Amino acid sequence: MSGAPVKFQARKTVEQVEEGNDLAPKFDDRGLIAVVTTDATSGELLMQGYMNAEALQLTISTGEAHYYSRSRNVLWHKGATSGLVQTVQELLVDDDQDCVWLRVDVTGGASCHVGYRSCFYRKVPVAGDFEAKQSEGHVALEWTETEKVFDPDEVYGDAPNPTVL
Amino acid sequence: MSGAPVKFQARKTVEQVEEGNDLAPKFDDRGLIAVVTTDATSGELLMQGYMNAEALQLTISTGEAHYYSRSRNVLWHKGATSGLVQTVQELLVDDDQDCVWLRVDVTGGASCHVGYRSCFYRKVPVAGDFEAKQSEGHVALEWTETEKVFDPDEVYGDAPNPTVL
């Protein structure tokens, strides 16, 4: 843990936010900022989540990804339960600073609570492919990963599933 | 434009949503779903945005990225103004289907309204690097792109800047 508390600048002008070097993140009316997390080596999208201010400060100061769980309403040090810690290689902000991009190395090689490497293991056919495969407007998801990296029952035990219907 | 309207399934069980092949996206209380857009060739993160149901249906049926602009409150066919259309190579959904990943080819090679290739052109030092560079908890953003791909004034003219402070 770093000794210095991470501080943010106030958002004053569009030019400051878009073209300056002030770190002035925009948290929404829930106090959250969107986060995109990719594998630093493969470039694969691992997950999309949210941070509150504290999670962003801890991620910057410790170099390990922290999120805010909307389903559990808690600060969430990724890997605290599963051991699948994400070590941040690069942390980037977007033009209007309402999104954070983490490029991470993942201990254990998996980031998805279902047990897959990435949370994105199914795809939707689009355009002509959709047209060819659809039936009355419905189309089946197609798997892009077939083998789980870990057994979620072993890793999470009785912890409640975070998916909300 | 496709002839068939794209339809979604009702969300019934966690198993259906996480491990089934039903397309059953979760729209939040604003009617939106998060979208992550990466370059299909380089893997680079281009932007993070949102879709409403109509934007997702149009993206699937046409194969071109449509979003919902939260700042302008309109359906947004990316590239309609700038010409920087995003052609979808793959559209994936995450485990609980509250996020969409678009892997796209971009006409013109830029996705950012400020004129950069990616919206993510600045990074934040983390961990020991943060500690070494911070001053009273503040740290300067570092540029990862230095050349704009296009001049936003030429492309967008008098259109209002979408950044909200």
Q: Rounded to an integer, what distance in angstroms lies between the CA atom of residue A123 and that of residue A42?
A: 18
pLDDT reading at A75 higher than 80: yes
Instruction: Give the pLDDT of residue B3.
Output: 60
* Residue scoring higher pLDDT (A110 or A45): A45
pLDDT, average across residues A3-27? 93
Task: With CB atoms and an 8 Å threshold, state whether A116 touches B95.
Answer: yes
pLDDT reading at A1 higher than 50: no
Helix (H) or strand (E) holding B138: none
Task: With CB atoms and an 8 Å threshold, state whether B134 touches A6.
Answer: yes
Contact B60, A126 (CB under 8 A): yes
Instruction: Give the pLDDT of residue B2.
Output: 47
Residues of A in contact with B18 (CB under 8 A): 114, 163
A122-124 sheet: strands from edge to edge:
A142-143, A122-124, B86-93, B99-106, B33-39, B45-51
Instruction: Give the pLDDT of residue B145.
Output: 86
Instruction: Give the pLDDT of residue B4.
Output: 66
B69 touches chain A (CB under 8 A): no
The per-residue pLDDT of chain A, averaged, comes to 90
Per-residue pLDDT tens digits for B55-86: 999 999 999 999 999 888 999 999 888 888 99
Residues of B in contact with A4 (CB under 8 A): 130-131, 134, 136-137
Task: With CB atoms and an 8 Å threshold, state whether A124 touches B26.
Answer: no
Per-residue pLDDT tens digits for A78-132: 988 888 899 999 999 999 999 999 999 987 777 778 888 888 999 999 999 999 9
Task: With CB atoms and an 8 Å threshold, state whether A99 touches B48.
Answer: yes
B76 touches chain A (CB under 8 A): no
Instruction: Give the pLDDT of residue B21.
Output: 94
Per-residue pLDDT tens digits for B105-160: 988 777 778 888 888 999 999 999 999 999 999 999 999 988 888 888 777 777 77
Task: With CB atoms and an 8 Å threshold, state whether B94 touches A47.
Answer: yes
Instruction: Give the pLDDT of residue A3.
Output: 59
Per-residue pLDDT tens digits for A135-145: 999 999 999 98
Task: With CB atoms and an 8 Å threshold, state whether A130 touches B162.
Answer: no
- Rounded to a whole number, what is the distance in Å from the CA of B123 to chain A's nearest CA? 4
A53 touches chain B (CB under 8 A): no
Instruction: Give the pLDDT of residue A2.
Output: 47
